[in-house]
Structure 1
Amino acid sequence: MIEVRRRVHARTEDVYAVLTDGWSYGLWVVGAVHIRRVSSDWPRVGSTIEHSVGAWPLMIEDRTVVEENEPGRMLQLRAHAGPGGTARVRLELTPDGTGTTIRMTEDAVAGPGRLIPVPVRAPLLKLRNAESLARLAALARGRPDRPERP
């Protein structure tokens, strides 16, 4: 699994609240551009987000499924990317004093993505996921129900 970490100046509850808002997925996940449907019970195990990835006119209809969920602590997803294959993404949240450390791991688990050697795909995933965590952090810090910012 390819790993990226980020310390966020936001409460763990605020970070998890963004993760549990399936409609926000397109705001923080790099590549997800259009959310079509979110299961009403997101993020229960088995629930889905249907979204598109890519840029018009070359968009792929995609879906992400919750594999595991430990509320406030961890969310594991299986992201399907049409003909590109499937990836497992795990987000772990650890409170650390005045903020939260987010650990995001991802790797291809099926399809052509597995054929790309790890030394080639790792740097690309790290860059993409570092940007995703920066966006997630900004959303968590900006939550309107947050009483004050550290």
Structure 2
Amino acid sequence: MIETCRTVSTTPERVFAVLADGWSYASWVVGAAHIRDVDAGWPAVGTRVHHRVGLWPLHINDQTVVRAVETGKTLELDAQMWPLGAAMIRIWLEPVSATSTRIHMAETLTSGIGRLLPDAVQSLLLRPRNAEALRRLDDIAVHRESR
């Protein structure tokens, strides 16, 4: 798995609140263009975010499914990433202090053409994308109002 980390100036609860808001998915996931629907109960195991990926006008309807969740700590997802296939993504939150959190994001391509890429090539594709996703997640978690 390709792992990327970022330390943010907020609590794990605030970061997880963003992860638990399926409607915010396209705001922090690089490549997700539009949220079409979010299953009731997100992020319970088996629930889905229905999204579009790609640049207009070449949008593809896809979905991301929750594989595992530990509220406030971890979220594991199966994400469709057409045309590369699918990926397994694991996000876990590590408290660093009372006011900071280290976010870990690990991803591996699990099907489709992307699975055939060597790890070094997967890393070249995924690490910058996931670093940007964590920057966006940081911005949202730190600056959005508490709900």
Q: Same fold (TM over 0.5)?
A: yes
Q: What residue number does 2:138 align with?
A: 137
Task: State the number of aligned residues.
Answer: 146
Query: Would the aligned equivalents of 1:72 and 1:93 in 2 still touch at CA under 8 Å?
Result: yes
Q: Does 1:13 align with 2:18?
A: no
User: How much does 1:116 deviate?
Assistant: 1.5
Q: 1:107 to 1:19 in 2, by over 3 A?
A: same
Q: What residue number does 2:39 align with?
A: 39
Q: What residue number does 1:51 align with?
A: 51
**Is there any run of 5+ residues in structure 1 with no aligned partner, and where?**
none
**Deviation digits for residues 76-134 of structure 1 (CA, Å, limit 9, x no counterpart):** 00001244311000000011112000000001011111112211121220000000000
User: How much does 1:58 deviate?
Assistant: 1.4
Question: Which runs of structure 1 show a deviation greater than 2 angstroms over 4 or more consecutive aligned residues?
Answer: 81-84
RMSD of the TM alignment (CA)?
1.1
The equivalences for 1:68-107 within 5 A come to 68-97=68-97, 98-107=99-108
Query: Would the aligned equivalents of 1:61 and 1:82 in 2 still touch at CA under 8 Å?
Result: no
User: How much does 1:29 deviate?
Assistant: 0.3
Letter in 2 for 1:87: A
**Is there any run of 5+ residues in structure 2 with no aligned partner, and where?**
none
Q: What residue number does 1:110 align with?
A: 111
Query: Would the aligned equivalents of 1:60 and 1:81 in 2 still touch at CA under 8 Å?
Result: no
- For residues 2 and 20 of structure 1, the distance between their equivalents in structure 2, rounded to whole angstroms, comes to 23
